[in-house]
Structure 1
C-alpha cells in the first residue's frame, strides 16, 4: 500500500500540480488549500506524511506544525516554501519537521524522500547503518529518525537503556551513518 499524503498549501495551482505528480507514483494524496481546516481534516483521517507550506493566509505553517506535533506527533512533516531562509529552515527543524524543500521543488528528490520517510510507517525494511530493522512500532520509528538525525551532527550522543534493549545496535548505526 502506497503512502497517504496530505498537502497543505493555499496556492491552489501548486497543490493541484504537485498532487497530480505524486499520484503518478501511486501515492494516495489529499489536498487542503484552507489551512485553517487542518486540525479538522487530521481528526478525520490518518496520513503517513504531511507536506506543509510555511506562508499561508490566516495561519502560518509553523503554527500548524506546532499543532500537528501536539496532536499527530508521529506523522512526519516536510515543510515547503518559496521563502527558504536559514532562519526558516532552522525553525522548521526545531518545530519538528523532518525536512525542508524550497519552491520550486525538485520533484524526483521529493519523491525519493517521501518513499524513504514513509517506508518507516509501512513497516518496510529500513537500513540504519549496517542494521536492517523492520517495525510498525511508533517509538522504534521515532528512535530510527533520531539516530539518522543525530548521525548528521557532530554532537556527542549518550545511549542509555537496560540490557538487551539495543544500545549496541544504536551505537553501531550512529557510527556507520556518521562516517
Structure 2
C-alpha cells in the first residue's frame, strides 16, 4: 500500500486510554492517525492538516463534539466527520448529522464498522476533491479563452 492510499484520520476523544487504543488499532490496519484530546485541539489540527476523516467524540469538557463539529465545518465544509457517542444519545447523533456529520457510531466502537466508514469517507472526499479540481480547471480554461 503506497502512502497516498492511506487514509489520514484525526481521532478526537478526551478519554486518553480509549484514544490510544483506537489509534493503535487503526494504525495496525495501515491508517495514518493523529489524535486530539479536546475540541480546541481538534479545530487547530483540522486547520493545519487535511484529514480524510475526523472521528469526533460528542461529550468532551471545554467545547463539546457538536461545537467542535460546527467550528470545523465552518472552516472546512467538505470535512468528513463521524461522531462517537457514548451515552447512546440518538437524538444528539441526529442533531450532529444535521450539522454536517456523515454518521454517528456508538461506543464501544465496532472496529470493522469504523474501518468501513473511514473507507467510505475517504472515497467521498476523493470525489469531492476531484470535482473541485475539475471546476477549477474549467474556470482557468474559460478565463484563458482557450
Rounded Cα–Cα distance in structure 2 between residues aligned with 1:135 and 1:39: 21
Among 102, 107, 115, the residue aligned to 1:111: 115
The aligned runs of 1:25-104 (5 Å cut-off) are 25-104=29-108
Cα 1:91–1:116 shift into 2, 3 Å = same
1:135: Cα distance to partner? 7.0
Q: Per residue, is there more helix in 1 or in 2? A: 2
The total of aligned residue pairs comes to 130
Q: Which runs of 4+ in 1 moved over 2 A?
A: 120-123
1:45: Cα distance to partner? 1.1
Give 2:130's aligned residue: 136
Rounded Cα–Cα distance in structure 1 between residues aligned with 2:103 and 2:53: 11
Q: Would you say the 8 A contact 2:38–2:63 is kept in 1?
A: no
Q: Would you say the 8 A contact 1:62–1:92 is kept in 2?
A: yes
- Structure 1 unaligned segments of length 5 or more: list them: 124-133, 141-179
Rounded Cα–Cα distance in structure 2 between residues aligned with 1:37 and 1:93: 21
**TM-score, with structure 2 as normaliser:** 0.82
Q: Would you say the 8 A contact 2:12–2:37 is kept in 1?
A: yes
**TM-score, with structure 1 as normaliser:** 0.67
Instruction: Give the root-mean-square deviation of aligned CA atoms.
Output: 2.0
Rounded Cα–Cα distance in structure 1 between residues aligned with 2:114 and 2:35: 17
Rounded Cα–Cα distance in structure 1 between residues aligned with 2:79 and 2:133: 12
Q: Would you say the 8 A contact 2:80–2:125 is kept in 1?
A: no
Give 2:14's aligned residue: 10
Rounded Cα–Cα distance in structure 2 between residues aligned with 1:96 and 1:121: 14
Rounded Cα–Cα distance in structure 1 between residues aligned with 2:107 and 2:81: 16
